[in-house]
């Protein structure tokens, strides 16, 4: 009997997987790091790893559709004389005119207004379309101060001082030259066609002691009318939130690493920051330790997709959530209807993230006049409003099942975790146990 | 001519009164006494009035000024005239860091010295400094003019865009992508105008050197990666 040497099946490295190999080849060819939009794509502990327990013998549920479950939220009543009162606890995150088309900004304003919530400007100032269509508009105050002027500041319903964002805590921004059109250049006071860099630190304050004085200035300029938010990327949420409260914030926004960006280095997006799920409880703990929970409101963002995510974030102690990527998808981003266009760009619907290149087939992350025409701001705004209403109904459904007459009455005790990691991060028991890793041994 | 004693009236009352000045108001000259280093003095003013602050102030004096002509008879803390849109701010003493930061218009005159990051991210403001300035002046300056009659510290004009920088004395070092450029007739005219507006008559425009962007960082190139840090 003769034996042949049986071949093994070709085996690829788990460490050097196909994506990693392609990135090495890309870097070797171009000499530049990979830039893309969106948030972290790697698998992370997330809201999917939590479950609601629902009512039974020990909890009394509310009747769906008949018994009230309120969803409104007041934001900014610590110091501001005109706090926001939103119908739903889901807001639209800051995204710039420049990274987004004017139609997209208009659609966000239309959708948010129809749903009774706020939308937010971004790096590049306040566009007329956005202010015109947004009943409640939050004005971002960013390190670059592109387009920043006191006239717009006084038109804002709230001011959000951006210290950082989840996709890139500690990083600045960039808008590639392809998207710096005449209008964008004029608003930012930059030459047309250059790569616009945004600083990672504010130009005129350093640290929380300075920020407290900066906030005093902003309050004086706005005659103490306007709520002031501080937005931080999810990095050290306990200390960042505590310092934001100390600096005088009315509202703190904590953005986890699934939160999107218009353009940042892939290595930054995937390797800096903390998952949203891991940020909430330390942030809430900071507020509770200072006696400021529900007095300084907490908005959580980064990977919020549906009403269950909303309900879970609120149950963990947030007052509201904010959506960016999901809102763009509701407008039409990455829609399979444009599959052939995505294929022509070397990608596929659902994976397109080269938002910085300005060639978005859906007409959202572009300044190309022809592509922009693809997005009908009225229809897209309607789609966003529908989506926001569905998310709200979903959150209400869950809250009623937990016996809550307001979504803010959801609490950690309504949750369990499917994984040890999620249990530790969310500080809720592993399902079927009373074990909260790191809390009780 | 209203006189506000900041030691008695408080900051909120002061800024509220300044914000409430209506168009055509007869109260066109305001005096502020006893500022005692207070922050956010005369911020967000939006009226063509004259304000004289008799003493030194803290952070963000005259921040986001529109139209007002503000004179500080003393020194100012960080961020004086930050994001100014129009009008003028004159500091008779020295200015701390970030003076004129992100300013989009108007004229900031500092008769003494200015600390670090003077004119950081300037977007159209004109700044004239009679004395010296510290490091990182006009960092990422986008537009406007910075005129320094004395010396400049390290990293002048780092990552500058289209702001035009003029220094009469020495420059300790230039920042990334900042180079010396020829001083042409149009620049001499700009200098003459700005020095005149600042009331500086003993300095000649021809004594300055001009600095600005080499424009090598305007679009990313791996061959310039070292300049990005």
Instruction: Provide the shortest C-alpha distance from residue B139 to chain A (in Å).
Output: 9
Considering only the beta carbons, identify the residue of B83, B117, B139 that sits closest to A148.
B83
Touching check for A335 and chain B: CB below 8 Å? no
Query: Domain for residue B229, yes or no?
Result: no
Integer-rounded Cα Rg, in Å, for chain B is 18
Nearest-angstrom CA–CA distance, B128 and B117: 14
pLDDT of residue B23: 84
Token digits for B178? 């900042």
The answer on pLDDT for A220 being more than 50 is yes
B158-163: average pLDDT: 95
pLDDT tens for A324-382 read 999 999 999 999 999 999 999 999 999 999 998 999 999 999 999 999 999 999 999 99
Model-level pTM? 0.95
Nearest-angstrom CA–CA distance, A327 and A216: 33
Domain limits at A186?
Answer: 47-332+375-426
Burial B101-126 (b: 16+ CB within 10 A, else e): bbbbbbbbbbbbbbbbbbbbbbbbbb
Confidence at A43, pLDDT banded by 50, 70, 90:
very high
Give the chain A residue whose CA is nearest to the CA of B215. A194
Interface test with B, best of A180, A204, A215 (most B CBs within 10 A): A204
Query: Domain for residue A389, yes or no?
Result: yes
Touching check for A29 and chain B: CB below 8 Å? no
Confidence at B229, pLDDT banded by 50, 70, 90:
very low
Domain limits at B200?
Answer: 3-223
pLDDT of residue B1: 84
The domain tally of chain A equals: 1
pLDDT of residue B223: 66
Instruction: Provide the shortest C-alpha distance from residue A220 to chain B (in Å).
Output: 7
Q: At which residue do the structure tokens 């670090």 appear?
A: B116
pLDDT of residue A36: 94
pLDDT of residue A65: 78
Cβ-Cβ contacts under 8 Å, A193 against chain B = 219
CB atoms B63 and A217 under 8 Å: yes
pLDDT tens for A402-428 read 999 999 999 999 999 999 999 999 999
A250-265: average pLDDT: 95
Considering only the beta carbons, identify the residue of B85, B101, B142 that sits closest to A190.
B142
pLDDT of residue A66: 86
Query: Domain for residue A41, yes or no?
Result: no
Query: Could you say which residues from 135 to 174 on chain A have a Cβ atom under 8 Å away from some Cβ of chain B?
Result: 144-145, 148-150, 153
Of A38-42, A191-195, B84-88, the least confident = A191-195
Yes or no: say if B89 and B158 are a contact pair by the CB < 8 Å rule: no
Touching check for B142 and chain A: CB below 8 Å? yes
Query: Domain for residue B202, yes or no?
Result: yes
**Local structure of A243: helix, strand or coil:** helix
CATH code of the domain containing A133: 3.20.20.70
Nearest-angstrom CA–CA distance, A222 and A150: 9
B209-218: average pLDDT: 93
Q: Where are the alpha helices (DSSP H) in A116-233?
A: 128-133, 150-155, 182-188, 207-221
User: What is the count of residue pairs from A and B with beta carbons less than 8 Å apart?
Assistant: 101
CB atoms A197 and B78 under 8 Å: no
pLDDT tens for A288-299 read 999 999 999 999
Touching check for A186 and chain B: CB below 8 Å? no
CB atoms B44 and A197 under 8 Å: no
Orientation of helix A276-289 relative to helix A237-247, angle to 10°: 50
pLDDT of residue A189: 81
The pLDDT > 70 percentage for chain B reads 96
Nearest-angstrom CA–CA distance, B85 and A325: 34
The domain tally of chain B equals: 1
A226-231: average pLDDT: 98
pLDDT tens for A306-326 read 999 999 999 999 999 999 999
CATH code of the domain containing B190: 2.160.20
Query: Domain for residue A159, yes or no?
Result: yes
Query: Domain for residue B228, yes or no?
Result: no
Cβ-Cβ contacts under 8 Å, B58 against chain A = 213
């Amino acid at each position: 009997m003769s034996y042949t040497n049986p071949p093994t099946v070709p085996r690829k490295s788990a460490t050097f997987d196909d994506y990693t190999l392609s990135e090495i080849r890309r870097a070797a060819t171009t000499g530049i790091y990979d830039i893309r939009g969106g948030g972290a794509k790697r698998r992370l502990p997330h809201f999917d790893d939590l479950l609601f327990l629902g009512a039974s013998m020990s909890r009394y549920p509310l009747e769906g559709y008949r018994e009230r479950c309120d969803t409104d939220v007041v934001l900014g009543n610590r110091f501001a004389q005109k706090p926001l009162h939103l119908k739903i606890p889901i807001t639209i995150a800051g995204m710039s005119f420049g990274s987004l088309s004017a139609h997209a900004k208009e659609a966000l304003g239309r959708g948010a207004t129809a749903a009774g919530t706020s939308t937010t400007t971004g790096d590049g100032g306040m566009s007329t379309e956005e202010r015109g269509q947004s009943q409640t508009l939050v004005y971002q105050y960013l390190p670059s101060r592109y387009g920043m002027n006191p006239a717009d500041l006084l038109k804002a319903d709230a001011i959000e001082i951006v210290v950082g964002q989840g996709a890139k805590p500690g990083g600045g921004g960039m808008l590639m030259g392809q998207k710096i059109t005449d209008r964008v250049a004029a608003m930012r006071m930059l030459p047309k066609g250059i790569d616009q860099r945004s600083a990672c630190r504010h130009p005129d304050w350093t640290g929380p002691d300075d920020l407290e004085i900066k906030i005093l200035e902003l309050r004086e300029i706005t005659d103490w009318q306007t709520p002031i938010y501080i937005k931080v990327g999810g990095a050290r949420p306990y200390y960042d939130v505590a310092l934001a409260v100390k600096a005088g914030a009315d509202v703190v926004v904590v953005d986890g690493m699934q939160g999107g960006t218009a353009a940042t280095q892939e290595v930054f997006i995937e390797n800096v920051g903390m998952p949203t799920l891991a940020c909430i409880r330390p942030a809430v703990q900071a507020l509770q330790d200072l006696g400021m929970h529900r007095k300084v409101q907490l908005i959580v963002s980064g990977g919020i997709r549906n009403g269950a995510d909303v309900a879970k974030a609120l149950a963990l102690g947030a007052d509201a959530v904010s959506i960016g990527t999901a809102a763009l998808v509701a407008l039409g981003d990455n829609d399979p209807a444009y599959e052939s266009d995505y294929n022509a760009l070397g990608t596929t619907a659902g994976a397109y993230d080269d938002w910085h290149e300005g060639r978005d087939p859906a007409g959202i992350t572009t300044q190309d006049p022809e592509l922009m025409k693809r997005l009908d701001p009225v229809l897209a705004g309607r789609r966003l409003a529908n989506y926001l209403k569905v998310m709200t109904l979903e959150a209400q459904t869950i809250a009623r099942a937990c016996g809550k007459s307001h979504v803010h009455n959801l609490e950690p005790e309504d949750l369990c975790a499917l994984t040890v990691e999620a249990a530790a991060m969310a500080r809720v028991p592993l399902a079927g146990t009373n074990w909260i890793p790191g809390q009780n041994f | 001519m209203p006189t506000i004693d900041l030691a008695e009236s408080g900051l909120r009352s002061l800024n509220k009164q300044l914000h409430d000045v209506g168009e055509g108001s007869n109260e066109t000259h305001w005096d502020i006494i006893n500022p005692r280093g207070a922050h956010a003095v005369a911020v967000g003013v939006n009226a063509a009035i004259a304000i004289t602050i008799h003493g030194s102030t803290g952070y963000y004096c005259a921040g986001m000024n529109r139209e007002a002509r503000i004179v500080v008879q003393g020194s100012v803390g960080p961020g004086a005239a930050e994001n100014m849109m129009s009008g003028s701010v004159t500091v008779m003493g020295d200015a701390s860091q970030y003076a004129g930061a992100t300013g989009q218009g108007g004229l900031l005159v500092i008769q003494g010295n200015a600390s670090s990051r003077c004119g950081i991210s300037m977007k159209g403001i004109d700044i004239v400094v009679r004395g010296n300035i510290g490091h990182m002046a006009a960092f990422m300056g986008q537009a406007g003019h910075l005129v320094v009659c004395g010396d400049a510290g390290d990293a002048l004009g780092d990552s500058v865009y289209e702001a035009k920088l003029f220094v009469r004395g020495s420059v300790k070092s230039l920042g990334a992508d900042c180079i010396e450029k020829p001083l042409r007739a149009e620049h001499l005219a700009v200098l003459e105008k700005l020095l005149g507006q600042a009331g500086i008559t003993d300095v000649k425009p021809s004594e300055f050197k001009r600095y600005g962007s080499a424009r090598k960082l305007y679009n990313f190139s791996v061959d310039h990666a070292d300049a990005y840090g």
